[in-house]
Amino acid sequence: MPPLEDIFIQTIISYINQLQTVKKILQVSKRIQRIIKTMKSNPYFICSAEEKGVRAFHIQNILNIFSGIGTLQITPEDLILDFNQWEINTINISITSGEIISSIPFKKLISYVGTTDEFLKQTNKQTKFPLERLYIIQPENIDVNALNCLILFPCLKFVEFCLIEEKQNSIFFTNELIYSLLKKNIKVIINHPEMNENSIHIRSLLPNNIYNIYSNVFPFGSFNNELIVISPQQTDLFHIYNPITNVFNNKLYKKLYYPYLYEGEYNIFLSQLDSLQLIELKKSNNTSLLFPSSLKELHIYFTNTKNYIYENESELSLLTTLKIKEYNKKTLIPLNIQKLVIDKLTSKFQVTLPQLTKLSIHKTNFKKLILNSTIKYLKLDYYYNNMSLPHSVKTLQLYSCDELLSTKKIEKLILLNTDNTNMSLLPLCLKNISLYNVKKINLTRLESLEEVYLNLNSFNGFFDFKNIKLPPNIKKLILEFTGKIGDADPQNIIDKAKLYFSLIPNVQMLGEFFE
């Protein structure tokens, strides 16, 4: 397998992060940064090149250096090692040919990419391992019946069939298999190498809720059939066309994901894709951006925010959601934006956006935010003492709070982490509160509360509801259990909760074991 570009590595890591499989983020000192720089040419944590006197590191040395690795990506060459001697939670493995894979550490395997003949033979005997994602290369060469074992994997969430060559007489699936996967809520994707008559034929045989993507390379990501994935190999975007009419179908796509350096070469082309509703750009050196008037949501993840402008801002009346990497004094934001997400705030937020109602800020050092008075929903990762908030804010979402909030006239509070929260710091005017990771809570002083949502953590089927103390005027209570109930009877849990909270007119309980 040839070395992957940096952006592919970022895409893979981003995708894994979305699935919450990476357990730890590695922070390294400067003395090994040059090692990592060399390792970037290969996503499997192997340094195979010699650069500036840096010798090639074997995977064993990497494991010794990064003792805190939570998820490890490995190649077949590394399977000679005994991974049980390291504290690795999960392993992703990529195999692009028919190597013997009997030495795979199945008990830790969470993601498998590769051909599956030998893999299915091995796993047919032992399916009780934590496999979540399976990328099947060349499924057209596999016996259809051999794929039936996929439904036996208890943790499987995602299957992607990566076709190399499509032939109408080589159908790799049966409707019975597909519906069995869907019944278990497993996401199924067919990744076509190109759009042609055969791929259209295969697509016609599939249910409507099977996702399809078309690209010259496999991006290792779950995308749907409304998305364009532009790869560097696609120098001519008009290769994505309807082979029957030989005309590019610009009405087909709703989303564009462009994970490469964007320099404006597709500005005119993109502006003509008047079906696009979401565009995501990762990197850009361009100073002028031109988007279709149909655009509703825009994600810009490059940091040179002071260098670009919206060339046709007056035509972007539907654009209401914007996510940006950084905000500074020169950052331009379209006036129609209603929802704004900022990863890093490096300047005071002083822009006037008359329609802005929802603002999220992940990183900021400013204790005084000069905010637009129309903001009703404010999300902050952290609240500083005496932090100034606009009077218009009715809903405040925080990751944690250990400072006084009592002077703030908010109606709804969302707290994602309640471990160290002192409930006496909360404003008495609250009407609605949502608390996560709750083990024990006392809200009796909040007499104005009408609606309460509690996400109960570490639930084992014998939760003591006496640990939840609520004021008498509660009208609606939602309890969501995220832990395991063991051998407890779900109906018994429901009966106990309804009995304890019998004075509350509306009590709802959520949890997969209640379904």
User: Is residue 43 within 8 Å of residue 62, measured between CB atoms?
Assistant: no
Q: What is the DSSP string of 418-456?
A: -TT--GGGS-TT-SEEEEEEESSEE-TT-TT--EEEEEE
User: What's the CA gap between 208 and 214, in Å, rounded?
Assistant: 16
Q: Label each residue of 343-382 as H, E or C.
A: EEECCCCCCCCCCCCEEEEEEECCCECCCCCCCCEEEEEE
User: Is residue 216 within 8 Å of residue 187, measured between CB atoms?
Assistant: no
pLDDT at 319: 92
Alpha helices (H) in 205-342, listed in sequence order: 267-271
User: Could you give the C-alpha distances from 458 to 133, 466, 481, 485, in angstroms and in order?
Assistant: 26, 16, 9, 9
pLDDT at 99: 52
pLDDT at 243: 39
HSE-CB of 252 using CA atoms within 13 angstroms: 15
Domain ranges within the chain, ordered by starting residue: 394-515
pLDDT at 125: 63
Mention every residue, 6+ apart, whose C-beta is less than 8 A from residue 264.
284, 286, 287, 288, 289, 290
Q: Which of 98, 56, 50 is nearest to 76 (CA)?
A: 98
User: What's the CA gap between 512 and 514, in Å, rounded?
Assistant: 5
pLDDT at 117: 66
pLDDT at 158: 79
User: Could you give the C-alpha distances from 296 to 68, 226, 280, 427, in angstroms and in order?
Assistant: 41, 15, 12, 36
Tokens 């209401």 belong to residue: 320
Phi, psi of 423 (to 5 degrees): -65, -15
Mean pLDDT, the chain cut into blocks of 10 residues (515 residues total):
40 40 31 40 36 37 49 56 58 56 67 70 68 76 72 79 68 74 78 65 67 47 38 38 43 65 68 79 74 89 68 88 85 88 81 85 71 80 74 85 70 84 82 88 90 77 79 89 68 82 85 57
